[in-house]
Amino acid sequence: MKLAFSTLGVPGLPVPDVVRLAAAHGYHGVELRAHPEEPVHPGLTAAERADVAAAFKSLGIEILGLAGYARVAAPGDDAPVLAEIRELVDLARDLGAPFVRVFPGGDADQDPGEWDATAARRLGTAAEHAADAGVRILLETHDSHRTGADVIRILGPVGHRQVGALWDVMHTWLGCEQPADSYAALSPYLGYVQVKDIASAEDSTPLPLGAGALPLAECVELLSRRGWDGWLCWEYEKRWYEGAAPLPDLLTAGREHLARLLNDSA
């Protein structure tokens, strides 16, 4: 498996510095948070996009994907959501990134059946543009669709190869779903896996990998046993927790922890 980290852990850090961090600490790639407050977002010009791609290529670091914020199950018109996804897909194409992340975002006032139908319709429409761009849209296990069982209610009806799943191991755990059940549901659709660690269900402050309660060893062992050979991406949510330890100080130990888990499961 290849290892990456998310720029959510180093908010606002210039792209050249992100690339150097990845190279210095032995990571194969980086997931870029695509938001206007970050250096990489859909508002970049063609020249700026070329500069980002060149910075990564210069040190042989891959752009794993773009972590976007489109909410495919949210109430309202389809057009703004589809436009947001198209912008993310076009940016990923220009940067050479294979994936874009979207959220479910169902509204608690709606019927869950409406969530699923809305999300499946929008993703099915967006899939055609993604196919033309050579990019895959991944629906993260998150918010209204926290578990694998939740997510496949959307992905099953979509039935398009350019739409898949992003397994955030924290959210499936918080949803009380066992890793084996998450993998069984998501494996036909799985793009990559986000790993992290937290102290408990009541305290989601990010911790160094292996220092918290999440079943990372079980998840990695399961993926290895099933022959899955994709990406593990460390999403350290420093952006939301200013008091969390700086990610750069933890990157080498985090990579070594994941490497040990992979070696133990081999």
Three-class secondary structure assignment of 14-29? CHHHHHHHHHHCCCCE
> Closest Cα to residue 72, out of 136, 147, 125?
125
Judged against a pLDDT cut of 90, whether residue 110 lies above it is answered with no
pLDDT above 80 (res 258): yes
Mean pLDDT of 103-124: 91
pLDDT at 3: 98
pLDDT for residue 113 is more than 80? yes
Q: What is the CATH number of the domain that holds 167?
A: 3.20.20.150
Q: 3-state class of 202 per DSSP?
A: coil
User: Does 30 have pLDDT greater than 90?
Assistant: yes
The answer on pLDDT for 12 being more than 90 is yes
Q: Which one is predicted more confidently, 197 or 263?
A: 197
Domain that includes residue 34, residue range: 2-265
Give the confidence band of 264 by pLDDT, cuts at 50, 70, 90: confident
Q: For residue 107, what pLDDT band results from cuts at 50, 70 and 90?
A: confident
Dump pLDDT digits (tens) for 211-242: 999 999 999 999 999 999 999 999 999 999 98
Instruction: Count the domains in the chain.
Output: 1
* Residue showing tokens 């898949």: 164
Which of helix, strand or coil describes residue 191? strand
Q: Residue 7: its pLDDT value, please? A: 97
SS3 content of the chain, % helix, strand, coil (to 5): 45, 20, 35
Span 192-202, pLDDT tens digits: 999 999 999 99
Query: Tokens 């909410």, residue?
Result: 71
Please state the separation of Cα 40 from the chain's center in Å: 15
| pTM over cut 0.75 | yes
Predicted pLDDT of residue 230: 96
Alpha helices (runs of H) in 33-111, residue ranges in sequence order:
46-58, 78-95
Whether 184 shows a pLDDT value over 80: the answer reads: yes
Report the C-alpha gap between 58 and 36 in whole angstroms.
25
- Per-residue b or e along 121-139, where b marks 16 or more CB atoms closer than 10 Å to that residue's CB: bbbbbbbebbbebebbbbb
Percent of the chain clearing pLDDT 70 (strictly above): 100
Alpha-carbon distance 14 to 147, whole Å?
34
185 CB contacts (<8 Å, ≥6 apart)?
A: 147, 148, 149, 151, 152
Q: Is the pLDDT of residue 266 over 90?
A: no
Q: For 117-165, write each residue's pLDDT tens digit.
A: 999 999 999 999 999 999 999 999 999 999 999 999 999 999 999 999 9
Average pLDDT, the chain: 96
Q: 9 pLDDT band (50/70/90 cuts)?
A: very high
